[in-house]
Amino acid sequence: MRYFIHLSYRGTAYRGWQTQAVGASVQSTLEAVLTQRLQQPVFVVGSGRTDAGVHAQQQYAHFNLDIPIDFSESLIYSINCILPEDIAIHGIFPVRANDHVRFSAISRYYQYHISRQKNAFCNGLTYHFRPELDMERMNEACRILLKYTDFKSFSKAKADVTHFHCRLEFAYWVRSEPDRLTFHIKANRFLWGMVRTIVGTMLEIGQERMSLAQFEQIILARDRTVAGRAAPANGLYLVEVAYPPNVTAHWPEY
């Protein structure tokens, strides 16, 4: 039987989603707790590999079991009691054998949060960035971004991919509070480090340290060395992983 896990986590204490040789990861922590509670080895696959320090409001993972198990509310509660406070499982449910959290997904949606004022309750959850930003110029850059599909300039150099094409559905900035800006971006796939590098480059545009023409040339260059530095991980959130109706038809509501 294959099961999907719907979970969320605060990434501050972890070296990212994927199991690492040194340091705790979300994947290894989840596997250890499920193995302990279910009394059999459990290996999980994630819908995406969030970097160290990146958070997930919605993440999916799957695992296989030889014997069917009823993941009742009480069983899930007991698993959550063993998990650290910064990882929460919202549901575990059976799916078809060929449903895959990564390859069946059709889109991912990220947000990046910037606070211009220090906030004692948001430490590690937003990027505290004091300089004034021209949000209209940053949204003009977003409109340029949407014209393209090749984002090699925003991918980490050692990305293990066969191509650098991503279909963006939207990209825009909003001022959600007087002192907070949020970047929204959704695509069918993302490259390693792509969102943080786009944000870091747009901060240059927002400070008028880079022109819109220069930004477009960065995209066309297909060269990571010409883009801005990546924004810190603590402001980035995976907020939605979407699947087609034939996958979600019998999913429970959470």
Q: In the beta sheet, which residues pair with residue 185?
A: 110, 171
Rounded CA-CA distance 87/231 in Å is 24
Rounded CA-CA distance 199/4 in Å is 31
**Among the options 51, 99, 150, 223, which is catalytic?**
51
Tokens for 231, please give them.
């924004």
Residue 51 bears catalytic tag: yes
Residues 236/110, Cβ–Cβ less than 8 Å? yes
Task: Cite the DSSP H helix spans in 71-193.
Answer: 73-82, 135-145
CA distances (Å), 241 to each of 11, 48, 235, 253, in order? 17, 9, 18, 15
Q: Is 200 helix (H, G, I), strand (E, B) or coil?
A: helix
Among candidates 71, 107, 65, which has minimal Cα distance to 89?
71
Task: Cite the DSSP H helix spans in 17-148.
Answer: 26-38, 73-82, 135-145
> Binding residue per annotation — 127?
no
Binding residues for substrate: 110
User: Which amino acids are annotated catalytic?
Assistant: 51
